[in-house]
Amino acid sequence: MTGVLLRRGLALLVLATAALAAQGAGTTRITWLGHATFRIEAPDGTVLVVDPWLKNPKSPLRGEKDPVAALGRVDYVLVTHAHRDHLADATAIARATGARLVTNFDLGKNMVRLLGFPEAQAGIATMMNIGGELALGAVRVAMVPAVHSSGMGNPFAGDQGPAVVYGGDPAGFVVSVRGGPTIYHSGDTAYFRDMATIGELYGPDVALLSAGDHFTMGPAHAARAALAVGARIVVPMHWGTFPILAQDVGAMEEALRGSAATLMVLRPGDSLVFQGRALLR
């Protein structure tokens, strides 16, 4: 009888330990808000928003009276490059939430000067450049290359001033969540062979890849990018926002067949939820 009780006690202890471990791992939530905009919430509550354009034609927040308020807590705004469809709501979010800016140094300076981004939230501590990494709460952010352009529209151009000003180099981000997944956001980009190096350096679990063609790589090249970085979960983005970006991203599945990658075509508003590095839904 004593042996039975001992075994039962040990079994309960194992179950309790497993439950505590799972609880400690917490959950990471990645929510697509249409176009290239994602909200990433880490297990410790740290929230990052990447390339915020909350009123894009496919955004689930488009109909909200106050999309910024509907977004909730934001600690950091990550901007891959200077085009308006990737930073349209960055200033409004920063003013409402106190979020700090993570982008290249040159773009950050022009966002402060020309777009009114709060200067105190765009300092040297969070502005960076390609090759650099930042520790932000429970996440580590690396800025990686992209092949695109990065001119920022000048709201004060008038009739004679330059319509576009310097926005630094375009980039992608790798977000490594402590106790959670590693996420690669490609930014707007073409396929390039050094994507394999991003995979070697960071080993992303999730790849959020531009796939709309015309301004970025299309589905065929996005599938090659997925194989190059080696992510096990592949999410196409920057597609379908406008008729010019209409694509059959489901065709990527055939190109990924036989690999370890799973294509997940999200609808705007859908989330991926992770317990540790395991996908729950």
Q: How far apart are CA 152 and CA 110, in angstroms?
A: 8
Asked if residue 187 has pLDDT above 70, the reply is yes
Within-domain flag for 130: yes
Within-domain flag for 163: yes
Asked if residue 11 has pLDDT above 50, the reply is no
CATH number at 234 reads 3.60.15.10
pLDDT tens digits, residue range 115-128?
Answer: 999 999 999 999 99
Asked if residue 1 has pLDDT above 90, the reply is no
Q: What is the pLDDT of residue 25?
A: 54
CA 62-238-99 angle, to 5 degrees, is 60
Q: What is the pLDDT of residue 126?
A: 98
Within-domain flag for 10: no
Tell me if residue 276 falls in helix, strand or coil: coil
Number of domains in the chain: 1
Q: Tell me the mean pLDDT in the region 61-66.
A: 95
Asked if residue 3 has pLDDT above 90, the reply is no
C-alpha distances in Å from residue 173, one per residue of 30, 65, 158, 226? 14, 30, 34, 15
Percentage with pLDDT > 70 across the chain: 91
Within-domain flag for 7: no
- In the block, residue with structure tokens 């990447």: 50
| Residue 179 structural domain | 25-279
pLDDT tens digits, residue range 130-156?
Answer: 999 999 989 999 999 999 999 999 999
pLDDT tens digits, residue range 37-59?
Answer: 999 999 999 999 999 999 999 99
Within-domain flag for 13: no
* Sign of the C-alpha dihedral computed for residues 174, 199, 37 and 178 taken in this order: negative
Asked if residue 72 has pLDDT above 80, the reply is yes
- What are the tokens at 52? 């915020």
Within-domain flag for 20: no
Within-domain flag for 6: no
Yes or no: say if 225 and 186 are a contact pair by the CB < 8 Å rule: yes
Within-domain flag for 238: yes
